[in-house]
Chain A
């Protein structure tokens, strides 16, 4: 079965130039993109074996001597295509701030403490049903320089591959009910409300583990659907 990747599906993506997010102004192409057909080069993409990950890479709370501070959480879900078929054996990478809203990255100058027991990076490969799971701590909100009193809502960065180079997706997972949503130009760069809410995880009481960790469910839908048979009958 071969999949097709209609470009219309990308209509929900943010525009390259979204001026409320100031960094887009000088970092967006000014000339129209050139429309080209998908060739073998676009319809193929990297495949990752289980040697790409190591035991425990999906548990961000166990990468150091002690446990990180913050609310322990489980983040899990499925990676699907547009026909809701699972995307099996695809690499999912995450990175995030610690519970205080501080990244390990050297350029992060937010005066909140680093946590010696938390790096904030994880990876896993989806199983045959497209399922993935991470254990981590809830990232904190943090300030940034986009405008006066700008704060990013709590979020976890996701990187997903899928089955072709055109299914590649980098996105952010948000948490339900965040009061910072109306003020964040990155979140609101997705102008369609339904599409925006697809970036918000759902609290998952059924999979919350009593006396241990809250659970959030985040399903990811990548490009790709079965080709619709062309109707050749004349009417």
Chain B
């Protein structure tokens, strides 16, 4: 049996390699000269479901924006299926990968355009409310931290088996709030890494 390779920080200078076209307000030219493999827009032409935008700011223990973070998300499609298995039978959303990556800008803001995920199976056959797994990397983080995003307008949140494992007074940190206004739905999801109203992070 082999022991795993340890994690190290992503450092401050990943953007030109990992997220060259994402919220690059550090750059006069707005983008770095390198092709993007994974971006912050997950919506594919064949994706069915409700289009949503997710926006948030990530802050440190002093409440200061973290302007050199990378946020990755992983989610099911609108029918609650993950695009994981290779060679599975074609799905209606076959091009929808469910994976996205956003760097933060100078204000510590990240954003994604995606499809609201469906209900997916959970432990013991209990359904999980629509949610997105969120993974955070940054300078000063020697390993990634994982959290989850749930949607404020989902009745299924009340019975979600993972939310129920979180102390009630902290569950609110996992809820993305639908913003008022017309047009495509925007959900606000701030991440507070440390301190007051600290976001719940998971040991997985």
Of B27, B133, B139, which one neighbours A165 at CB under 8 angstroms?
A: B133
Q: Decide if B13 touches A46 in the complex (CB within 8 Å).
A: no
Over the window 1-22 of chain B, the binary record of Cβ atoms lying under 8 Å from chain A Cβ atoms (1 yes, 0 no) is 1111111111111111110100
Q: Is there an interface contact between B33 and A47, defined as CB atoms closer than 8 Å?
A: no
Task: Decide: A103 near B37, CB < 8 A? Known: A23-B140, A33-B202.
Answer: no
Q: Mark A84-113, 1 if CB is under 8 A from B, else 0.
A: 100001010111010000011111100000
Please name all residues of chain B whose beta carbon is closer than 8 Å to the beta carbon of A33 when the two chains form the complex.
145, 201-203
Q: Quick check: is B92 within 8 A (CB to CB) of the other chain?
A: no
- Which of A16, A21, A84 has most chain B Cβ within 10 Å? A16
A30 to B64 CA separation, bound complex (whole angstroms): 16
Whether the pair B17, A170 counts as a contact (CB closer than 8 A) is: no
B61 touches A16 (CB 8 A): no
- CB pair B10–A157 under 8 Å, yes or no, is yes
Residues of B within 8 A of A39 (CB): 120-123, 128, 162
Please report the number of residue pairs spanning A and B whose Cβ atoms sit closer than 8 angstroms.
241
CB distance from A114 to the nearest CB of B (A): 12
Beta-carbon contact of B123 and A34 below 8 Å = no
Given A41-B133, A46-B97, A170-B137, verify A198-B13 contact (CB < 8 Å): no
Q: Is the CB of A105 within 8 A of B7?
A: no
Report the Cα distance A49→B63, complex, angstroms.
39
Q: Decide if A182 is an interface residue (CB 8 Å cutoff).
A: no
Cα–Cα distance between A127 and B193 once the two chains are bound (Å): 37
Chain B residues lying within 8 Å of A80, measured Cβ to Cβ, are 2
A30 touches B137 (CB 8 A): no
B68 to chain A, nearest CB (A): 8
Residues of chain B with a CB closer than 8 A to A9's CB: 3-4
Closest-CB distance, B185 to chain A (whole angstroms) = 21
Are A47 and B5 in contact, with the CB atoms below 8 A?
no
Categorize the interface residue count of chain A.
35 or more
The reply on A65 being an interface residue by CB < 8 A is no
Q: Mark B137-160, 1 if CB is under 8 A from A, else 0.
A: 111111111001000000000000
Q: Which residue of B lies closest to A5 (CB)?
A: B204
Taking a contact as CB atoms under 8 Å apart, the answer to whether A21 and B140 are in contact is: yes
Contact at A123–B37, with CB atoms within 8 Å? yes
Contacts of A129 in B (CB 8 A): none
Please determine whether A41 and B26 come into contact, CB atoms closer than 8 angstroms.
no
Q: A28-B193, A47-B83, A107-B12 are in contact. Are A221 and B203 (CB under 8 A)?
A: no
A94 to B13, CA, bound (A): 12
Question: What are 6 A-B contacts with C-beta separation under 8 Å?
Answer: A14-B143, A44-B74, A47-B84, A106-B28, A119-B33, A172-B8
Interface contacts beyond A14-B8, A47-B84, A168-B72: sample of 6 additional A-B pairs, CB < 8 Å, sorted by A:
A18-B142, A23-B9, A27-B61, A27-B194, A28-B140, A198-B6
